[in-house]
Amino acid sequence: MEKTKVKDWRKLREFVHNYTHNSRAMVGLCMLVFILMVALLADVIAPFSPTEFIDVAQLPPSGDYWLGTDHLGRDMFSRIVYGTRISLMIGVVAAAISGMTGTLVGAFAGYYGGKIDRILSQIIDIFLMVPTFFLIILVVAIFGSSIFHVMLVIGFTSWPGNARVMRSQAMSLRERTFVKGARAVGMSERKILFSCVIPNGIFPIISNTTMQIATAILTEASLSFLGLGDPNAISWGQMIFNGRNVMTSAWWVATFPGIAIIITVATFYMIGDGLNNVLNPRLRQ
């Protein structure tokens, strides 16, 4: 027991050391901390309520309104600060759904093989062949454009990539000595899958899921730009949608939310790329 704890502690120290010595990963982590602080302290940072009609519409950026006002006279800075919460929630929830679904489907397919693998692989291939974004548009148009539906449909249409990665990991791990040893001592197949195979094959999924947070934020922004976002949500995508018709007279209404999306997406891509380098021994070398 003590040897296991010491080994786990050494692995954690090695991970922290490798991560802190990856410049791109550290830049992404610092930016993520800043974004999270903005989301958590939105009530303190924002000078106005995001739904308050405070002044004349389409006022340019000034000392009173740092990022100007939108087409209804609402403070853009306050709306972007509060929009951080919604956009992060969409990204994290959708990516978590994708990660969990892909991990379970891929693990079962790769570990059990045979007929189960053929059936699940067919399902994965079907989802990969269907144009994902058009499927999302179709589902949102049918079932509604609430934030809840948007998160679910993004999560349940982006899992095949994770499933394929986990499937290959499970196919490799099931032939390892420690798995065969666990089977030899009488451990059930399901217990081996959840206690040996998935924990040891999850690392590529972690880095891939981190990048999918950025993809989910971009997808929500795309849906909102097409008019399929939640009109009641204070999200960056909805702000861009509201500002697209006034680009010539009030460029700031759509520009600053777009910049916020770019910064956030770049942040998660840097973190995901850093995790991929740290968790993959070949890339680290």
Q: Indicate which CATH number applies to the domain containing 123.
A: 1.10.3720.10
The whole-number average pLDDT for the span 230-250 is 84
Residues 214-228: pLDDT tens digits? 889 988 888 888 878
Domain that holds residue 92: 2-284
Residue 245 scores a pLDDT above 60: yes
Are 161 and 138 in contact by the 8 Å Cβ rule? The answer is no
State both tokens at 58: 């389409």
Q: Does 4 have pLDDT greater than 60?
A: no
**C-alpha distances in angstroms, 103 versus 19, 36, 167, 211?**
24, 27, 8, 15
Per-residue pLDDT, 279: 72
Mean pLDDT in the chain? 85
Number of domains present in the structure of the chain: 1
More confident residue, 181 or 103: 103
Please list, in sequence order, all residues whose beta carbon lies within 8 angstroms of the beta carbon of residue 198, skipping any fewer than 6 positions away.
103, 107, 166, 170
